[in-house]
């Protein structure tokens, strides 16, 4: 029997919760600054490289309303620049203090920081405008997500909230980019039949793409008529057994890796590694929650082991 064809859509999703504080040295704001340095600026560099090399094609990027608002915030931009100065000063001090055998690694990070700062100054700190330039050139499709990134199935019986969540997101997107979003990312990939579809139609986004990630095609049956008429839906079409097996395998590896990284970080730093004043403890908490989410490692290890009997342990 021939396996059904597969259809896979890769969409980049960028989101951070609202972390702006009155305190100018808030720990949570470093989360945003790290994302700008290590993710958004390098992504712009990749887009610039594709344009420079004449590589055809485009990327889809969703920017959540909270993240988009923070990237436009003048105070946060100024604080990012102060953070960056401290970061480079710390790197310079480390090179003076540490043994020469560590210098190649430090030089590597210095080059990464130099590239990030060069991109920041090139776009004058205005990342949304830089992303919009690539959108206008056809290299980037900019999407939005419901504000403030709630798990939508929990609000399925509150239509007023779904309408408001999408309305605020679209209004901000139109205000910043002067156009409708190219698609709508479902926060946390939370899916329930019909959730947000009617709201999208009411908002006048009949041409927008609605991402449904790893959803069985049968789950769309209750809304198939509405979706087929107005909203193109991107789904991963694969047999249910194959999806479950692949997801369990990935979750086992991710769970083991996240636990190892978190435990080693705490072990390395001792007691301070579990205090709220140290960033490592916050990362450990995040990794722990992610490891438990959607079934913990032991659950998915059991799922993987059970399916090894069906394939004699061969997953190729």
Determine the Cα–Cα distance for residues 262 and 34; give it in Å rounded to an integer.
Answer: 18
Structure tokens at 2: 């021939």
Determine the Cα–Cα distance for residues 35 and 43; give it in Å rounded to an integer.
Answer: 11
Secondary structure tally for the chain: helices H, strands E: 12, 6
Query: According to the model, what pLDDT value does residue 208 have?
Result: 47
Query: According to the model, what pLDDT value does residue 194 have?
Result: 56
Per-residue model confidence as pLDDT tens digits over 145-184: 888 888 877 887 787 887 788 888 888 999 999 988 887 8
Query: According to the model, what pLDDT value does residue 212 have?
Result: 39
Q: What is the mean pLDDT of residues 106-116?
A: 93
Determine the Cα–Cα distance for residues 94 and 106; give it in Å rounded to an integer.
Answer: 8
Contact (CB, 8 A) for 203 and 146: no
User: 132 CB contacts (<8 Å, ≥6 apart)?
Assistant: 142, 176, 177
Determine the Cα–Cα distance for residues 28 and 252; give it in Å rounded to an integer.
Answer: 29
Query: According to the model, what pLDDT value does residue 135 have?
Result: 93
Q: Which residue has the higher pLDDT, 244 or 154?
A: 154
Q: What is the DSSP letter of 234?
A: E
pLDDT > 90: percent of the chain: 28
pLDDT at 216 over 50: no
Q: Determine the angle formed by the axes of helices 27-35 and 279-292, rounding to 10 degrees.
A: 70
Length of the chain: 316
pLDDT at 239 over 80: no
Per-residue model confidence as pLDDT tens digits over 181-211: 887 887 877 765 555 555 554 455 544 444 4
- Half-sphere exposure of 182 toward its Cβ, with a 13 Å CA cutoff? 20
Query: According to the model, what pLDDT value does residue 243 have?
Result: 64
Contact (CB, 8 A) for 63 and 132: no
Determine the Cα–Cα distance for residues 108 and 114; give it in Å rounded to an integer.
Answer: 10
Q: What is the CA radius of gyration of the chain?
A: 22
Query: According to the model, what pLDDT value does residue 299 have?
Result: 85
Query: According to the model, what pLDDT value does residue 161 have?
Result: 82
Sheet holding 59-63, edge to edge: 12-14, 59-63, 140-145, 183-185, 209-211, 233-234
- What SS3 class is residue 109? helix
Which of 218-222, 248-252, 277-281, 283-287 bottoms out in mean pLDDT, i.e. has the lowest?
Answer: 218-222
pLDDT at 217 over 60: no
Whole-structure pTM over 0.75, yes or no? no
Looking at mean pLDDT, say which of 108-117, 219-228, 270-279 comes out highest.
Answer: 108-117
- H-only helix segments in 98-195: 103-122, 127-136, 159-177
DSSP secondary structure string for all residues of 126-138: -HHHHHHHHHHTT
Give CA separation, 56 vs 17, 23, 46, 91, 234, in Å.
Answer: 33, 44, 13, 38, 22
């Amino acid at each position: 029997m021939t396996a059904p064809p597969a259809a896979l859509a890769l969409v980049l999703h960028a989101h951070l919760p609202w972390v702006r504080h009155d305190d100018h040295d808030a720990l949570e704001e470093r989360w945003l600054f790290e994302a700008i340095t290590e993710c958004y600026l390098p992504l712009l560099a990749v887009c610039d490289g594709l344009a420079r090399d004449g590589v055809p094609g485009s990327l889809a990027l969703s920017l959540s309303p909270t993240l988009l608002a923070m990237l436009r915030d003048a105070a946060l931009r100024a604080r990012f620049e102060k953070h960056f100065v401290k970061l480079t000063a710390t790197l310079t001090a480390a090179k003076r203090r540490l043994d020469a055998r560590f210098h190649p690694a430090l030089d590597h990070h210095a080059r990464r920081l130099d590239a990030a700062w060069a991109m920041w100054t090139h776009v004058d700190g205005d990342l949304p405008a830089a992303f919009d330039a690539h959108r206008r050139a056809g290299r980037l499709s900019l999407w939005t997500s419901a504000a403030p990134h709630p798990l939508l199935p929990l609000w399925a019986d509150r239509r007023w909230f779904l309408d408001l969540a999408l309305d605020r997101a679209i209004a901000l997107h139109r205000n910043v980019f002067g156009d409708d979003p190219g698609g709508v990312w479902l926060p946390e990939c939370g899916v329930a039949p019909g959730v947000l579809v009617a709201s999208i139609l009411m908002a006048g986004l009949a041409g927008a793409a609605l991402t449904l990630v790893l959803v069985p095609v049968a789950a769309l049956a209750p809304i198939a008529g509405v979706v087929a008429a107005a909203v193109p839906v991107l789904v991963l079409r694969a047999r249910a057994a194959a999806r479950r097996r692949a997801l369990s395998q990935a979750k086992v590896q991710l769970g083991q890796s996240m636990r190892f990284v978190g435990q080693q970080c705490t072990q390395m730093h001792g007691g301070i590694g579990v205090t709220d004043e140290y960033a490592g403890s916050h990362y450990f908490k995040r990794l722990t929650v992610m490891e438990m989410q959607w079934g913990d490692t032991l659950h998915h290890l059991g799922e993987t082991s059970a399916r090894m009997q069906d394939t004699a342990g061969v997953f190729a």
